Amino acid sequence: MAGAFPRHEKSLEALRNRGRYRQLMPRDGHDFASNDYLGLAGSDVLRAAAADALARGVPVGAGGARLLRGNDAEHQLLEAEAAEFFGTEATLFMGGGFNANQAIFSALPQQGDLVLFDALIHASTHDGMRLGRAESRSFAHSDAEDAARVLKDWRAEDGEGQVWIAVEAVYSMDGDLAPLDELMALADAAGAVLVVDEAHSTGVFGDQGRGLAHNISHRPNVLSLHTCGKALGTSGALICGQKVLVETLINKARSFIYATAPSPLNAALVRAALQELRENPARREEAWEGISHAQDEAKRLCGLGGYHSQILPVVIGDDKHTMALAAHMQACGYDIRGIRPPTVPRGTARLRLSITLNTGPEVITAMFTDLAREMEAAA
């Protein structure tokens, strides 16, 4: 007997045949898959912070949206401390980076504006743009000259509104860095706002882990997003920028207005994570020692180079070959995941190696030794 949803079943079968079927997998093996770059998620630092917060009577749940009774003192303390830490006029704490990007791009750019976005920008940015009223156009990845060309063409077509330039500081699937100096110069020259998603740079890059854009985040035409579920080891997101933009989000962003507030307990944990960044630079230094070691071993053992961050992609190309290689590495005891389209462009399926403090240098060397053997066997 046919299933109740034959079109869905057919669609899933097509994904299986193309090597693009996704399924949930348990955590198993050495961590080369998470975004827990500073090893904070399971740390004694956050365990102690949770125990302290509970002892102080911090609620586990918010009980409602921030605009109802869900606005807790921990949320407001976090926002004040985060604004000081990141050097911005105001911050807004939200439940996660995905709905924060939805909020930014659905509520801030207005009808008649242009969102000029990097071709490899996060999916959440695309969703936000679809919900908004502004026009959107892409420019070639990390190419400030192409961004200037696209902007010039839009102005020549009588585009007169505000321009919002959207980029990631560190790109989540390629691990490369945005040319922020060139993009900032373009934003200044064009009267544009530079929106920097610091998701994969928070905690890792910048003075005290303030992010790749830390030296420009104070400027009135810069808006930055720091997610809390990666290097900060918790969950949520902090939108940082001018007070008028934060107030606009509070009044107009549906993913803020209608969402139950993040847990006050989680806000307390984010505060503790920011304190750890301020007071324990050794954690970040140790993380960079591991990152540098991984980059060196990738080149020495596998001939892989050109890496700039803690994210080391190994581009295979074919979806099925990528997943087979990931399965072989998992069988060797490493939690390595294959990444396929549409997360990455067609023909660029890859292993995404993430270097965190959860994995020491000996394991990193062993992993690249095994990866070199598996790649040679698959060639």
Given the residues 31, 72, 113, 122, select the one marked as catalytic: 122
Burial degree of 159 (CB within 10 A; 0-12, 13-18, 19+): middle
Q: Which of 31, 36, 72, 197 is catalytic?
A: 197
Instruction: Judge whether 235 counts as a catalytic residue.
Output: no
43, 101, 172, 217: which is the annotated catalytic residue?
Answer: 172
Active-site annotation holder among 36, 113, 118, 168 = 168
Tens-place pLDDT, residues 277-317:
999 999 999 999 999 999 999 999 999 999 999 999 999 99
Which position among 75, 214, 226, 230 bears the catalytic label?
230
- Contact, 211 vs 346, CB < 8 A? no
Among left, alpha and beta (phi > 0; psi -120 to 50; other), residue 334 is beta
Told to judge if 230 belongs to the known catalytic residues of this protein, a careful annotator would answer: yes
Specify the domain boundaries for CATH 3.90.1150.10 within the chain: 22-37+310-378
Judge whether 197 counts as a catalytic residue. Answer: yes
The CATH code for residues 44-279 is: 3.40.640.10
Percent of the chain residues past pLDDT 90, beyond the cut? 92
HSE toward the beta carbon, residue 335, CA cutoff 13 A? 16
Report the alpha-carbon distance of residue 219 to residue 241 in Å, rounded: 8
Peptide bond into 262 cis (omega under 30): no
* 2 pLDDT tier (thresholds 50, 70, 90): low
- Please provide the size of the chain in residues: 379
172 is known as an active-site residue: yes
Kindly report, as residue ranges, where domains of CATH 3.40.640.10 are found in the chain.
44-279
Q: How many helices (H) and strands (E) does the chain have?
A: 13, 12
pLDDT per residue as tens digits for the range 111-154: 999 999 999 999 999 999 999 999 999 999 999 999 999 999 99
What digits encode the pLDDT tens for the residues 146-180? 999 999 999 999 999 999 999 999 999 999 999 99
pLDDT of residue 378: 75
Kindly report, residue by residue over 54-88, the tens digit of the pLDDT: 999 999 999 999 999 999 999 999 999 999 999 99
Query: Which pLDDT does position 1 carry in this prediction?
Result: 45
Of residues 79, 124, 136, 200, which has the active-site annotation? 200
Give residue 23's pLDDT: 85
Set 30, 31, 35, 101: catalytic member: 35
Q: What architecture does CATH give domain 22-37+310-378? A: Alpha-Beta Complex (3.90)
pTM for the full predicted model: 0.94
